[in-house]
Amino acid sequence: MHIITGGAGFIGSGFVHQLNRMGIDDIIIVDNLGSTEKWKNLVNLRFTDYLHKDLFLPTLIRGSFAGIESIIHMGACSSTTEKNADYLFANNFHYSRDLARYCRTNNVRFIYASSAATYGDGKQGFSDDHDNINRLKPLNMYGYSKQLFDLWVKKQGLLYNVVGLKFFNVFGPNEYHKEDMQSVVRKAYLQIKNTGRVRLFKSYHPEYGHGEQKRDFVYLKDCLETMAWFLERRNVNGIFNLGSGEARTWNDLAKAVFQAMNMEPEIEYMDMPEELRGKYQYYTSAPMEKLEKAGSPLSFHSLEDGVRDYVHNYLSQDDPYLR
């Protein structure tokens, strides 16, 4: 049995789809559906049961489940603008800590989502070397909540028993429910479809022109393949970057969407909200040597290839979900 927290969410539902492709459907999905549209991500998937996240943890600790092979912990608040620190402590740190303790005690494979937001403004670099963890200074409470759990994992001596994945800018199908936290690829597609143009933030850093801020964009399908690779190799552990390994500009991304839609680029630059200007990352790039040295044979989509697949096979289709 495999348990996927956040299993109706973006990466979580994608990984359920990945397991289904591997012939695995003995899966329990843990999430908080409420009145959101996340349930649509489940329609094309095969799984055994669904549990609300508040019901799941006490049920797990009581020992009500038998034969658990792995807990894939993708469930968390992923909003970089969330200001309720108590909520983030409870949801992103304490909940993760309780799951990790259970997995250590019961010899269950534990893979969890960290974040590139832990790197802050990048002044300490983007190395996923374990010695670098303590030096990082996140720019927002979301990043700090992820950093706290990485530090706890290190302090508990679990770096060689679990896998933490520092996801960079992931885009791809099954993100429809994420509202303002959807990828710019999807936002750009909708803007182009509705208005014929894309709006990007202006730059407030002298070293970067408008739209020339850089991010490491990684396609969801590459993340899912990597997670499956880790699931099958219990001897490979630690905290790893999960990006494409290449920094590209927002202008590059916008042009890739226009190209996939067979349209000429038309980009407009808008003011960045005041509250974001001091917390904005102008550059992120994931060094991927650690994953390569661990033996991963995977090759990732280029930005253009990933965007093309997303636009042609999902965004422009009547059934836009992984299937």
Residue 30, phi then psi, degrees to nearest 5 = -115, 130
The 3-state DSSP class for residue 173 equals coil
Per annotation, catalytic residue among 53, 154, 178, 202 = 178
Tokens of 50: 């669904």
Q: Are 27 and 48 in contact (CB under 8 A)?
A: yes
| Cα–Cα distance for residue pair 249/260, rounded to 1 Å | 17
What's phi and psi for 8, nearest 5 deg? -100, -5
Residue 142 annotated in active site: yes
- Determine which helix (DSSP H) or strand (DSSP E) holds 178, and give its type and residue range: none
Q: Please pick, among 95, 112, 142, 219, the residue that the annotation labels catalytic.
A: 142
Please tell me whether residue 237 adopts helix, strand or coil conformation. coil
113: which strand partners? 165
Element (H, E) at 198: strand 198-201
Catalytic residue at 178?
yes
The residues assigned a catalytic role are 142, 178
